[in-house]
Amino acid sequence: MAAPELVGIAEIAEIAGVSKQAVNNWRLRYDHFPRAIQELQSGPVWNREQIEAWVRGHQGEATHVLSFINLKGGVGKTTTAVAVAEMLAQEHRKHVLLIDLDPQTNATVTLITEERWAEMDRDGRTVAQLFEDRLNPQQAPRFDIERAIERRVSTINDGIARLDLLPSSIRLIDLQDRIPMIALSGNFTANPLEILRAALQPVIERYDYIIIDCPPSLGTVTKNGLRISTGYVIPTIPDIVSTWGIYQIVANVEAFSRDIDRPIPPLGIVATKVQGNNLHARVMADLRARRLGRFADGGGLDQPVMFENAIPQTVAVARGADVEADIRTFKGKYGDAYTALHGLTIEVMKKCEAKKR
């Protein structure tokens, strides 16, 4: 039998019509990427036939990028975004990147220790540094996407193998108002809405899911997240005040999506911190019937559907970083909310994967 024809990374890139960087990302992302059959001095080599078959079957499985948004603070955006990211990675073996766009850094410090964060912040390994570099184009850039991404984060299992984090920094507070000015600064031509997208380009292919935890606003930083989003999730407490801004979010995202000429559909509304009182029951019924406030009053937009799983208000989630809690397991970290968060993650995954074709 003739020996198989061997190909290296550069040839695989040529076969697939992509960059070598993309091939390296596939190797990291897909367990089913063929195993190299030999390590030569020039690098690993593969069997050409196996590679060709894989490339034919692969057909660019797109990365799902989901923003978790609500204009109201404290409605469980961070809690649900982090839980969904952890569960996609741990329970469904997806490669996941969580991006923290909120200067409050809540998602960051639930996934890594404050000491670790402080060290990363000093080293410019946060999204704040990314924006700061663009605001000071006369200085040498410090942000490096490969170094800024922290791998194996979360307290679950002392770190989840496929879960990565791009941290935020409180320094974003001072920067965020100046970000819209970037287009005007000096001879710099960067579009202030494209900064995150450009920075992620080398790594995006590595992930099945990118989950973005947004601040409670629709400013330039959030829009940087929406710019790359393939969909968004609206966590809300089922009460009047928390659901107030949902129409505004949907209208704004719709307008932004038209501006950039790219669909950003709402995946759904998820009820959070649900309590067994009459008010919550009534608002939940309106949400399920898709007749929330202005949507029902002929605002011109359809209310996004509800996720079936609603997240109950629980002691385990509220006590958060309690050292007594066994935060290394999902049951310890989320208590009675675990089942709903687990179900929500499956719903998110099914909706994303149904959209693929």
Checking DSSP bridges between strand 38-40 and strand 6-7, what pairing results, if any? Answer: unpaired
Counting residues that bind ligand ATP (by CB under 6 A) gives 20
Tell me if 73 contacts ligand ATP by CB under 6 A: yes
- Minimum distance from CB of 220 to Mg ion (Å)? 18
Scanning residues 255 to 284, which ones bind ligand ATP (CB under 6 A)?
Answer: 272-273
Write the interaction track for ligand ATP spanning residues 322-341; mark x where CB under 6 A is met and - where it is not: ---------------x----
Q: Which of 60, 74, 180, 263 touches ligand ATP by CB under 6 A?
A: 74
Question: What are residue 289's phi and psi, to 5 degrees?
Answer: -85, 0
Residue closer to Mg ion (CB basis): 55 or 166: 166
280 binds Mg ion (CB under 5 A): no
Angle, vertex CA 70, rays to CA 86 and CA 159, nearest 5: 15
* Binding track over 166-205 against ligand ATP, x by CB under 6 A: ----------------------------------------
Residue 106, interface with Mg ion (CB under 5 A)? Answer: yes
- Complete DSSP assignment for 19-85: -HHHHHHHHHH-TTSPPPSEEETTEEEEEHHHHHHHHHHH---PPEEEEE--SSSSSSHHHHHHHHH
Cα-based angle 345, 347, 350 (whole degrees, multiple of 5)? 110
C-beta of residue 149 within 8 angstroms of C-beta of residue 203: yes
**Residue with smaller CB distance to ligand ATP, 69 or 182:** 69
Q: Which of 50, 217, 313, 339 binds ligand ATP (CB under 6 A)?
A: 313
Residue 213 sits at φ, ψ, to 5 deg, of -90, 110
Contact flag: residue 77 with Mg ion (CB under 5 A): yes
Task: Report the distance separating Cα 234 and Cα 246, nearest Å.
Answer: 8
Q: Between 175 and 337, name the residue whose CB sits nearer to ligand ATP.
A: 337
Q: What is the per-residue burial (b if ≥16 Cβ within 10 Å, else e) of 233-246?
A: bbbbbbbeebbbbb
Residues forming contacts to ligand ATP in the complex (CB under 6 A) are 73-79, 102, 104, 106, 216, 272-273, 311, 313-314, 317-318, 320, 337
